[in-house]
Amino acid sequence: MEAKVKRLGILTGGGDAPGLNAVIRAVAKVAESAGAELYGFLDGYSGLIRGNYRKMEKRDISGLLHRGGTMLGTNNRDNPFNFPVQEGDEVVYKDMSDAALENLEKLRIDRLVVIGGDGSLAIARELTRKGAKIIGVPKTIDNDMQGTDQTFGFDTAVTTATEALDKLHTTAESHHRVMVLELMGRYAGWIALYSGVAGGADVILIPEIPWKMEKVAEKILSRQKEGKPFSIIVVAEGAKTPEGEKIIRETIKGSGDPVRLGGISYRIADMVEKVTGFESRATILGHVQRGGSPSPFDRILATRYGEAAGMLALAGEYGKMVSLRNGIITWVAFEDIPQGCRTVPPDHQLIKAARNIGISFGD
């Protein structure tokens, strides 16, 4: 293929997700076969603003497919429109988007591939309005992005969470306990729902479905009556308490979305002990869900996304995000991507199926 475009840039933004390296590899391979150069910006948008980059050579992309994380580094704080700058003893937040655009121009980067979640791609959309020519690739373990049916990283996170559930099962059964597993996902319950079903949870609590302690206790006690004096509860970090409170672990100064959720599982374990008399323990699985080698599904999805993004960029397209629709890779214009996070519809088919096989959602 003879490319219109001769020099591509690439960066990864937001929390890392298994499959980032597989996307980078696919973009690099299509660029190489079209005779185009590829420049990788380091640590997300901060590399673009500060001009920290590396030219990607053939040797850089070998051995990448199965590697977790991102070889380029990433960052889930920095926003070019509100970027921390040291002024004397003080850190002040400034609009540094012009510096980002100037670096693209200085390096004569024709098209930039941004691999990121809703936050990083919202920034990409703003930069596009200012003249940057960007192709987006949807990433996040949370699977909460609008404009696509699935993000890469989700399948691996679900696999990791399912393995954790299998392990919690044996100890729950041995000790006749209720084990509560808290999973990531921010304001969406996708990881909790999918791994809860895959791991045989008895109760799944997600932000999308308000729940009551009595209903959770009912499920635990009915299992006890059936001769199963142990239970597994999966809870999404974004699930609220029955009183509607979301549990925040910390707020990160300067971040566009400063809230970091965490801790609901401890509240639930305490309530379960009080209400049912069962001994209960909480586990927060945490960043293990973001790490490790991508599953075959994620390697394939990431490769398909990377190939499509590279081809679009090389053809001179921009202002588009690659997307998966009904098993087909396609694209969606940035301005046609609905705002906000894609949460689990409470009437999702998997929720119905889960209810029909006896899983409680606490409602």
Ligand X SMILES: Nc1ncnc2c1ncn2[C@@H]1O[C@H](COP(=O)(O)OP(=O)(O)O)[C@@H](O)[C@H]1O
Ligand Y SMILES: O=P(O)(O)OC[C@H]1O[C@](O)(COP(=O)(O)O)[C@@H](O)[C@@H]1O
Q: Which spans of this chain sit near ligand X (rule: CB under 6 A)?
A: 13-15, 76-79, 116-120, 122-123, 140, 255-257
Assign residue 31 a region (left: φ > 0; alpha: ψ between -120 and 50; beta: otherwise): alpha
**Nearest alpha carbon to residue 273 among 180, 168, 211, 361:** 180
Q: Which is nearer to Mg ion, 118 or 202 (CB)?
A: 118
Q: Is 119 an interacting residue with respect to Mg ion (CB under 5 A)?
A: yes
Residue 147 neighbours by CB under 8 Å, 6+ apart: 138, 321, 323, 332, 336, 337, 338
State yes or no: residue 78 binds Mg ion (CB under 5 A). Answer: no
Cα–Cα distance, 103 to 51 (Å, whole number): 6
CB of 29 to ligand Y, least distance (A): 25
Beta-strand pair 83-87/203-205: unpaired
Residue 15 as a binder of ligand Y (CB under 6 A): the answer is yes
Beta-strand pair 320-325/328-333: antiparallel
What is the nearest approach in angstroms of Mg ion to the Cβ of residue 292?
A: 20
Position among 26, 42, 124, 184 found at the interface with ligand Y (CB under 6 A): 184
Judged by beta carbon, residue 13 or residue 199, the one nearer ligand X is 13
Q: Could you tell me the smallest distance in angstroms from the CB atom of residue 260 to ligand X?
A: 10
Q: Per rule CB under 6 A, is residue 76 in the interface with ligand Y?
A: yes
Nearest one of 134, 125, 128 to 41, comparing CA atoms: 134
Does residue 120 have a known ligand-binding role?
A: yes
Q: Between 258 and 316, name the residue whose CB sits nearer to ligand Y.
A: 258
Q: How far is CA 323 from CA 29, 199, 308, in A?
A: 20, 28, 9
- As given in the structure block, the two tokens for residue 174 are 């041995």
Q: Is 117 in the site for ligand Y (CB under 6 A)?
A: yes
Mark 283-302 with x for binding to ligand Y (rule: CB under 6 A) and - for no binding.
Answer: -------x------------
Integer Cα distance of 73 and 218 in angstroms: 47
Selection from Mg ion, ligand X, ligand Y, none that 47 binds (CB < 5 to 8 A by kind) is none
Question: Annotation-wise, does 54 bind a ligand?
Answer: no
Q: Is 141 annotated as a binding residue?
A: yes
Q: Choose which of 19, 80, 117, 199 interacts with Mg ion (CB under 5 A).
A: 117
- Cα 19 versus chain centre, distance: 11
Q: Which of 16, 110, 142, 155 is catalytic?
A: 142
Least CB distance from residue 258 to Mg ion, whole Å?
A: 12
Q: Is 142 annotated as a binding residue?
A: yes
* Shorter beta-carbon distance to ligand X: residue 77 or 281: 77
**Is 223 marked as binding a ligand?**
no
Tokens of 90: 């003080």
Told to judge if 142 belongs to the known catalytic residues of this protein, a careful annotator would answer yes
- Give 102-169 as a 3 state SS string: HHHHHCCCCEEEEEECHHHHHHHHHHHHCCCCEEEEEECCCCCCCCCCCCECHHHHHHHHHHHHHHHH
Q: Which contiguous run of DSSP H or E holds residue 90? A: strand 90-94
By beta-carbon proximity to ligand Y, the closer residue of 237 and 307 is 237
Bind-site residues for substrate: 140-142, 177, 184-186, 237, 281, 287-290
Residues designated as active site: 142
